[in-house]
């Protein structure tokens, strides 16, 4: 017998969404980062930071939340991914956050994120990510897994300035075969500042702060 169809989640009011995610009037740039269940998995943590035209973070708009997995389907967190970001379903040794205690409803967050992207694009607010292709693809996959309509998130990789791709030449890193390779966020930070970021890497809320610092320095050096 075929599996019962899981109905899409109920719609939220547009007024409530607008109130929840309205970008500050001074917003000039939104930088975002994801942590996922695995390399081809779902987003379980999102962080974003909003900067004004002077490069100062608008702290009231800073976002960092852990998202619950879809209720339909058997979703798990890859062990290697857990070792990287420290997020697990339930409390265990070495975990930083748990979906059971810290997770919020991803459907509502995805709806608010769609509004955020829509408003940013309409106002010409720059979107920035490190490995934008990955983050955008995982966000779309997550929206689909949560039964939201196709195209729910009004964003494509081309809409985002990718600091990973744009810094490839400047960093001059090579792989084991001496081919040019893209810098990880930590490597970009070391290239620009001679030291690793002070926050925890692979914690989305900290990563966007490190990304903002790299982005602003890259602007100063005319890398983007």
Residue 15 placed within a domain? no
Residue 97 placed within a domain? yes
Burial of 181 (0-12, 13-18, 19+ CB in 10 A): middle
Buried residues in 87-118 as b, exposed as e (16+ CB within 10 A): bbbeeeeebbbbbeeebeebbbbbbbbbbbbb
Average model confidence (pLDDT) across the chain: 93
Return the closest-CA partner of residue 209 out of 84, 68, 56, 89.
56
Residue 18 placed within a domain? no
- pLDDT tens for residues 188-199? 999 999 999 999
Return the closest-CA partner of residue 103 out of 60, 137, 69.
69
Question: What is the domain-level CATH number for residue 160?
Answer: 3.30.420.10
What the block records as the tokens of 142 is: 């997550």
Give the integer Cα–Cα distance in Å for 154 and 176: 38
Residue 3 placed within a domain? no
Number of domains the chain contains:
1
- For the cut 80, the answer to whether the pLDDT of residue 68 exceeds it is yes
Q: Range of 110's domain?
A: 25-220
Binned at pLDDT 50, 70 and 90, residue 8 comes out as: low
Return the closest-CA partner of residue 136 out of 171, 161, 169.
161
């Amino acid at each position: 017998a075929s599996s019962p169809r899981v109905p899409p989640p109920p719609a939220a009011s547009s007024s409530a969404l607008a109130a929840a995610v309205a970008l500050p009037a001074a917003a000039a740039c939104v930088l975002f980062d994801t942590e996922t269940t695995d390399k081809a998995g779902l987003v379980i943590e999102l962080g974003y930071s909003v900067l004004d035209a002077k490069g100062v973070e608008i702290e009231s708009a800073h976002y960092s939340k852990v998202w619950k997995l879809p209720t339909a389907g058997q979703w798990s967190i890859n062990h290697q991914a857990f070792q990287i970001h420290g997020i697990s379903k339930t409390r265990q040794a070495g975990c930083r956050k748990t979906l059971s205690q810290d997770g919020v409803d991803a459907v509502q967050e995805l709806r608010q994120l769609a509004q955020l992207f829509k408003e940013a694009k309409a106002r010409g607010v720059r979107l920035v990510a490190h490995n934008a292709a990955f983050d955008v693809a995982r966000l779309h996959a997550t929206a689909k897994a949560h039964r939201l309509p196709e195209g729910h998130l009004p964003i494509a990789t081309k809409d985002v300035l990718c600091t990973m791709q744009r810094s490839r030449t400047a960093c001059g890193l090579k792989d084991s075969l001496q081919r040019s390779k893209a810098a990880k966020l930590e490597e970009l930070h070391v290239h620009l500042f001679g030291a690793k970021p002070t926050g925890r890497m692979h914690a989305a809320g900290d990563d966007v702060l490190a990304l903002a610092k790299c982005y602003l320095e890259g602007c100063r050096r005319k890398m983007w």
